[in-house]
Chain A
Amino acid sequence: MTEFAAYTIIGLSLGGIFSLAALGIVLIYRTTGVLNFAHGAMGMFSTFVAWQVFYGVSHPFWPAWLATLLAVIAGLTFAAVMGLVLELAVFRWVRTREPVVKAVITIGVLLALQSAASLIWKNNQYHLPLYLAPQTATIQVADVPIGANYIVIVVAALGLAFGLGAFLRYTSFGRAMRAVSDSPTSASLWGVPVNRVSAVSWMLGSLVAALAGILITPFINFDTTSLTLLIIDALAAALIGGLVSLPLTVLGGFLLGLLETYPTIWIQSLGFPRLVSLLVILVVLIVRNPRGFAVAAK
């Protein structure tokens, strides 16, 4: 029973990461129409910037919390700037192109970021993870000890989901973002600042991706490719939310986390979770699109 509980906790925190990554994808997709395949790579790059600050820049005599704080701030700042730069330099110029073209551009971004990171930080090399909460701190629930880092993830995922949801629903800038997501041309004619909206979406999306990347380091083989490939789980979660709904996306993330974790009780395989996420994607796409191509043809 405790084993099952332990797996549940791992699954939930993994799900929290997926939710976070997926939130960024949904946010960017809704407001700019770009399905960002480079989302994992962007998170990865920012995470390595944070890692560099933590292990390379900060002084060993600094207290751990200060080094961590500095690292996180550096990573998130870098993420926001990177999102802004990508929007200004690339995606602003392709706003009117078909969604598929924009998606292919993000593949270019993915390739470039991935290689740049592996050039700087060397691929296939073990990197020490970053811990937001002290590594050994645990909280006892019933008779199951839960690591503080797990709790941080779940809280961050839920908090961000509600925060973003409220932001989109209740602030005028959030409404502007939703208007842009429906029709950029008519939104611009109605005076919505389309440029600002998409810049902010890219910054926010990149920021959330970086947060997901920083949070996940203790749980995975922390190198450049695994973080880049987080994209597939994030996309699966985003598809559960139909690339639109934030609550469903978060729910999908947690569900996917559990689905990928439970089989590892019986199947010791690094690759099997990938099969789970592919199956989830297929099932979701076919269930969500029952009339087949008639709906897509519109």
Chain B
Amino acid sequence: MTMLRVRNLTVRFGGIVALDDVSLDLNRGEILGLIGPNGAGKTTLFNCLSGVIRPDRGSVYFETHSLTYAPPHVRAGHGIARTFQNLQLWGSMTVEENLMVPMDALGRRNTFSDALYLPFSSYAEQASAERARAILHVLDLSRYRNTLAGDLPAGIQRRVEIARALAMRPKLLLLDEPAAGLDAQETSRLAELLHAVRDRFHVSMLLVDHDMSLVMRVCDYVYVLDFGKLLARGRPDAIRSDPKVIAAYLGEESKNLPGAVETLAAPARHEPPLLEVKGLAAGYGGLEVIRDVELSVRRGEVVACIGPNGAGKTTTLRAISGMIRARRGHISEDTLRLVSVAAGHEVDITDAFELFPKLRERRRQQVGTLSGGEQQMVALARAILSQPTLVMIDEMSQGLAPTVVRRLFETIRLFREQGIAVLLVEQFVESALDVADRAYVFEHGTIGMSGAAAELRRNRKLVAGSYLGSAADAPAMVAANGNGHRPDPALMEVVSVRVPPKLKRALEQRAESEGRPAGAVVVDLLEKVDQQ
């Protein structure tokens, strides 16, 4: 039975048609996938469905109601809940409070009886708190119940977003890129979670994601959008082999280029490295996120930094580029000049357009109005134009369509051909190792392993993701928020805490004997101290 019926939806932003005559049906109990290149209008469609923007034309029916012009909270009342791609948790409230808002917004609650703690409100309060606890338990979030949502690592925040949406007792759940920033293992756990949620809470879902392994595994039916238009729809396996979809979105299966590394003219080893980092330590607030980081990049070399979420890769990049200050250690003098590329350099722009044909169409548009993927392309194009000797790229594939990701990786190859060195932080281990000459594997804030990319690739454990463990579960989030300063949640990935060596050894032994990450043990201990 059709639950959600979308007809001829059209949305224009200025001159750009973000959604063009899109129709879509979703049946009760179904998980519907929505895929498409960046800028295809997926998030716009979500915004129309949840009422955040109004369509210029078209209609939305949910069950028996016409919701085309209903405000968001009315849709919520009918049972449509959503999560946000750019994490919109209420950061200064605890996780439990985050879950209670949607619960009691739906019940008829009165401001004044709430403030007076009248019996009716107290009773409702207790009921809400209990349900919140139940949902947190199912999603394995119980231990964060009293943590401020803004202090959690991004991966956990995504899960809390799902929990919060479920707290509304939704009939339809709109999930906007729930797997963004998750590694392979976390993604597969998310897939299990979504199935469990459907079975336990009887929720239908509409899912947007770029991670095809998730979409193919979870969805019953898939819609493909391109340029705001419906390109194709069908069962996942049919979509996977649909030539139109392959051309627009999936791209050809990547042919591994094992020769790439060998064909590279070996950089002169005696030449001093372009970038040399020794004993680097950096962090945010009271936390030290990375320590003893040693790495080097030679002229024309592509170096990848891989490792689990929160191992300190991005922080290292930030410290090298000067966005945060290094606490200890040495970054070779040369770098500073290399990073500050001359501004206003006049270079032939056609190079960039050849690489990114889509940019040519949008060249008169303001960059701020481009979609995430397009902005990423502009950033890379700008990198090429300024002809640097070293480019540092942080998580460029996050939130991008597979075709775009592939093209971006090809760009990196192009960089190398032009003799530009690249320092790359990447979640997609395999793709990163494909283009890189060497790689550093980050673990708990320092470098655990390094070597030639070809060698590391042979390490099956590493590539399969099992070695890269599940650091997102190790929430060493003892942020020192004493001064009320709240660090940017995007910066607050999982971090490691500096502890005396003796204590550290004891912790590690305990973690080993219990078979859990050390961070989890630390948190448990801290919680015990709190309770005493």
Complex A–B touching at CB under 8 A: yes
Interface residues of A (CB under 8 A from B): 172, 175-176, 179, 182, 185-192, 291, 294, 297
For the A-B complex with A172-B343, A291-B54 known, give 8 more contacts whose Cβ atoms are closer than 8 Å.
Answer: A172-B344, A175-B343, A175-B344, A186-B379, A189-B321, A190-B343, A190-B386, A191-B342
Q: Given A185-B323, A189-B321, A190-B382 in contact, is the A294-B47 Cβ separation under 8 Å?
A: yes
Instruction: Check: B118 CB closer than 8 A to any chain A CB.
Output: no
> Contacts of B382 on A, CB cut-off 8 Å?
190
Q: Distance in Å from the Cβ of B106 to the closest Cβ of chain A?
A: 21
Specify the chain A residue showing the minimal Cβ separation from B383: A190
> Contacts of A179 on B, CB cut-off 8 Å?
343
Q: Tell me the bound Cα distance from A190 to B378 in angstroms.
A: 13
Q: Distance in Å from the Cβ of B382 to the closest Cβ of chain A?
A: 7
- Interface set, chain B 365-384, CB cutoff 8 A to A: 367-368, 379, 382
> Contacts of B343 on A, CB cut-off 8 Å?
172, 175-176, 179, 187, 190-192
Contact across chains for A191 and B54 when beta carbons are under 8 A apart = no
Q: Tell me the bound Cα distance from A261 to B45 in angstroms.
A: 48
Q: Distance in Å from the Cβ of B346 to the closest Cβ of chain A?
A: 10
> Contacts of B54 on A, CB cut-off 8 Å?
291
Q: Tell me the bound Cα distance from A291 to B56 in angstroms.
A: 11
> Contacts of A294 on B, CB cut-off 8 Å?
47, 52-53
> Contacts of B53 on A, CB cut-off 8 Å?
291, 294
Q: Tell me the bound Cα distance from A172 to B368 in angstroms.
A: 21
Contact across chains for B367 and A182 when beta carbons are under 8 A apart = yes
Contact across chains for A189 and B47 when beta carbons are under 8 A apart = no
Interface residues of B (CB under 8 A from A): 47, 52-54, 321-323, 339-344, 367-368, 379, 382, 386
Contact across chains for B323 and A182 when beta carbons are under 8 A apart = no
Counting residue pairs across A and B whose Cβ atoms lie within 8 Å, the total is 33
Q: Tell me the bound Cα distance from A60 to B52 in angstroms.
A: 67
Contact across chains for A191 and B341 when beta carbons are under 8 A apart = yes
Q: Distance in Å from the Cβ of B12 to the closest Cβ of chain A?
A: 11
- What are 21 A-B contacts with C-beta separation under 8 Å? A172-B343, A176-B343, A179-B343, A182-B367, A182-B368, A185-B323, A187-B343, A188-B322, A189-B321, A189-B323, A190-B341, A190-B382, A191-B341, A191-B342, A191-B343, A291-B53, A291-B54, A294-B47, A294-B52, A294-B53, A297-B52
Q: Tell me the bound Cα distance from A185 to B367 in angstroms.
A: 15
Specify the chain B residue showing the minimal Cβ separation from A294: B53
6 closest A-B pairs (Cβ-Cβ)? A191-B340, A172-B344, A294-B53, A191-B341, A192-B343, A294-B52
Q: Tell me the bound Cα distance from A188 to B336 in angstroms.
A: 12
Q: Tell me the bound Cα distance from A187 to B367 in angstroms.
A: 14
Contact across chains for A191 and B47 when beta carbons are under 8 A apart = no
Specify the chain A residue showing the minimal Cβ separation from B51: A294
Q: Tell me the bound Cα distance from A291 to B340 in angstroms.
A: 40
Q: Distance in Å from the Cβ of A248 to the closest Cβ of chain B?
A: 16
Specify the chain A residue showing the minimal Cβ separation from B369: A298
> Contacts of B321 on A, CB cut-off 8 Å?
189
Specify the chain B residue showing the minimal Cβ separation from A185: B323
Q: Tell me the bound Cα distance from A192 to B341 in angstroms.
A: 8
Q: Tell me the bound Cα distance from A192 to B53 in angstroms.
A: 36
Q: Distance in Å from the Cβ of A163 to the closest Cβ of chain B?
A: 20
Q: Of B54, B321, B323, B343, which is in contact with the most chain A CB atoms at under 10 Å from its CB?
A: B343
Q: Tell me the bound Cα distance from A297 to B72 in angstroms.
A: 13
Specify the chain B residue showing the minimal Cβ separation from A291: B53
Q: Tell me the bound Cα distance from A219 to B47 in angstroms.
A: 51
Q: Tell me the bound Cα distance from A291 to B53 in angstroms.
A: 7
Contact across chains for B368 and A191 when beta carbons are under 8 A apart = no
